[in-house]
Amino acid sequence: MKTQIIQIGNSQGVRIPKVLLEESHISGEVDVELHPEGILIRNAHGPRSGWDEAFKTAEDDGASPADGPANTFDKKEWQW
């Protein structure tokens, strides 16, 4: 798909066809990076995006602290 660079105020820009935006799920704020082959545009991710998934609690994965100690140290040496 071809498009042209256009004048937007004192800057220049590229019109991205709606079909490409819908298929790539790009919207709102984006990151723009310069690469040897051209310019990469992708959704901007916040500094803590993905943390919810990475730090699921024991309740989220079905385990329960009420199940008791998980290893021999917890069973014999740790003072509960």
Domain that holds residue 33: 5-77
Q: For the domain that residue 47 is a member of, what is the CATH number?
A: 2.10.260
> pTM to 2 decimals?
0.51
Written as six digits, the tokens of 67 are: 């199940």
- The count of structural domains within the chain is 1
Distances, alpha carbon 16 to alpha carbons 23, 28, 69, 70, in Å: 12, 13, 56, 54
In tens, the pLDDT along 1-58 reads: 889 999 999 999 999 999 999 999 888 899 999 999 999 999 887 777 777 777 776 5
